[in-house]
Amino acid sequence: MEPLSEINFKLVEHKKESNNTKETTRIEVFSDGVFAIAITLLVLELIQTLHSQTSDGLLKIFSDHWQSFLAFSIGFITILVCWINHHVAFEYIKKVDTNLMWINGLLLFVVTLTPFPTAVLAGYLQKESGTALAIFGFNYILISVAADSICTYAYNHHLIEEEHRKYYYSYKKIYRYAIFYTVIVFFICFVSVVIPVFLYIILFAAFAAPKKSASTLNKIRLARKKDNLKH
């Protein structure tokens, strides 16, 4: 009877695991829904440009509203990057509690809000470029804080699969750094326009592939530790 009981045990464990999976699945489905809608609502602002001037030719409308198309692309990439990072962060989370739901709710709050700074960017990029950029930059600070909170909470409360804990540590580190980075760039927005745009592109590039960034960071840290040991 030994072998059977072990299978029994495995089936029971499988059920318990699938219960946890169900919970994490539901928070992911809800979040995916919010990401998907926020990213799709952006197009409504584009359509709006068609209604504002109906007497003009099509090409004139396009050239008059190039900021709307630019803002649409920036808003789209912002939310997509958020989603990709959210995806990676939740890949290793095996359990969800009410606190994590609230912290995740904070992130969704900012994601839901994103079409607003996008619309600000479309309408005020030429008139008040500094303020418009700073508002979008403030959005990035909020996103970084929310992402850092999710990872730190999941890490500290052992909601992550034990085998990936070490990896998750360096993963969560990159969001901590992102907070400092976005705060600094936010203040630069009030002085310059070109520099923050350049710095935001670097930010995008780093978080476009969060797994790679995390492992690069890990290598740097290990190399530094070795260096310290030598001296």
How far, CA to CA in Å, does 169 sit from each of 57, 152, 163?
55, 9, 12
Least Å distance, CB 227 to a copy of itself, is 30
CA-nearest of 113, 122, 124 to 66 is 122
Which two three-digit tokens encode residue 150? Answer: 């999710």
Cβ nearer to a copy of itself, comparing 27 with 183 = 27
| In contact, 72 and 122? CB cutoff 8 Å | yes
Give the type of residue at 81.
V
| In contact, 200 and 140? CB cutoff 8 Å | yes
Q: Does 7 bind a copy of itself (CB under 8 A)?
A: yes
Number of amino acids touching a copy of itself (CB under 8 A): 75
| In contact, 119 and 155? CB cutoff 8 Å | no
Question: Quick one: which of 158, 166, 211, 221 contacts a copy of itself (CB under 8 A)?
Answer: 211
Give the type of residue at 186.
F
Question: Quick one: which of 93, 120, 142, 185 contacts a copy of itself (CB under 8 A)?
Answer: 120
Cβ nearer to a copy of itself, comparing 120 with 203 = 120
Which two three-digit tokens encode residue 34? Answer: 């919010």
Q: Does 26 bind a copy of itself (CB under 8 A)?
A: yes
Q: Does 108 bind a copy of itself (CB under 8 A)?
A: yes
Rounded (10°) angle between helices 210-230 and 165-188: 100
Q: Does 28 bind a copy of itself (CB under 8 A)?
A: yes
Q: Does 138 bind a copy of itself (CB under 8 A)?
A: no
Least Å distance, CB 124 to a copy of itself, is 6
Which two three-digit tokens encode residue 125? Answer: 């990029």
Residues in 62-91 at the binding interface with a copy of itself, rule: CB under 8 A: 72-73, 76, 80, 83-84, 87-88, 91
Please name every residue paired with 33 in a beta bridge, in sequence order, or none if there are none. none
Q: Does 205 bind a copy of itself (CB under 8 A)?
A: no
Which range of residues in 52-60, 136-144, 169-177, 178-186 is near a copy of itself by CB under 8 A?
Answer: 52-60
